[in-house]
Structure 1
Amino acid sequence: MLTERLAVACLRVFLVLLFALLVVFQTLSIPGQFEHMARTNPEGAAQRWPLTILGVLLVLCAQVVVVATWKLLTLVSQDRIFTDAALRWVDAIVWAIGACWLLVSGFFTWVVLRADDPGGPMLFLLVTLGVTVVGLLMVVMRALLRKATALRTDLDSVI
Structure 2
Amino acid sequence: MPSTHRAVGPLRVLLVLLFAGLVVAQVAVLPPTLASLADDEPDLAFLQWPALAFSVVELVCVQVVIVCTWRLLGMVRAGRIFSEAAFVWVNAIVATMVVAWALALAAFVSVSVLVDGPGLPVLLFGVVLAGGALVLLMIVMRALLRQATTLRADMDAVI
Matches within 5 A, 1:142-157: 142-157=142-157
- TM-score w.r.t. length of structure 1: 0.93
Letter in 1 for 2:102: L
**How many angstroms does 1:39 deviate by?**
3.6
Match of 2:124?
A: 124
How far is 1:32 from its partner? Answer: 1.9
Cα distance in 1, alignment partners of residues 38 and 26 from structure 2: 18
Deviates more, 1:82-91 or 1:44-53: 44-53
What is the aligned-residue RMSD (CA, Å)?
1.4
Q: Could you tell me how far apart the structure 1 residues matched to 2:78 and 2:145 are?
A: 16
**Structure 1 counterpart of 2:31:** 31
> Structure 1 residue 86 and structure 2 residue 83: aligned?
no
Whether 1:45 and 2:45 are equivalent positions in the alignment is yes
Asked if residue 106 in structure 1 is aligned to residue 106 in structure 2, the reply is yes
Task: Give the Cα separation in 1 of the matches to 2:125 and 2:52.
Answer: 20
1:158, CA displacement in angstroms?
Answer: 1.6
* Whole-angstrom distance in 1 between the partners of 2:71 and 2:38: 39
Residue aligned with 2:146, SS: helix
3-state SS, counterpart of residue 63 of structure 1 = helix
Aligned counterparts of 2:145 and 2:3: Cα–Cα separation in 1 = 22
Letter in 2 for 1:144: L
CA distance in 2 between partners of 1:115 and 1:152 (Å): 52
**Does 20-29 or 3-12 show the bigger shift?**
3-12
Task: Quote the sequence identity (%).
Answer: 45
Q: 1:3 Cα shift? A: 2.3
Find the counterpart in structure 1 of residue 70 from structure 2: 70
- Structure 1: unaligned runs, 5 residues or longer: none
Q: Matched residues in 1 for 2:153 and 2:31: separation? A: 48
Q: Quick one: distance in 1 between partners of 2:91 and 2:53?
A: 24
Kindly state the Cα deviation for residue 5 of structure 1 after the two structures are TM-superposed.
2.2
TM-score normalised to structure 2 length? 0.93
SS at match of 2:117: coil
**Cα deviation per residue 1:117-143 (whole Å; 9 max; x = unaligned)?**
222221111110000000000000001
Deviations 1:71-116 (A, max 9, x none): 1100000000011111111111101110110110000001211232
CA distance in 2 between counterparts of 1:118 and 1:42 reads 19
Counterpart residue identity of residue 98, structure 1 = V
Instruction: Measure the CA separation in 1 of the matches of 2:19 and 2:120.
Output: 28
Alignment partners' CA distance in 1, 2:83 and 2:11: 21
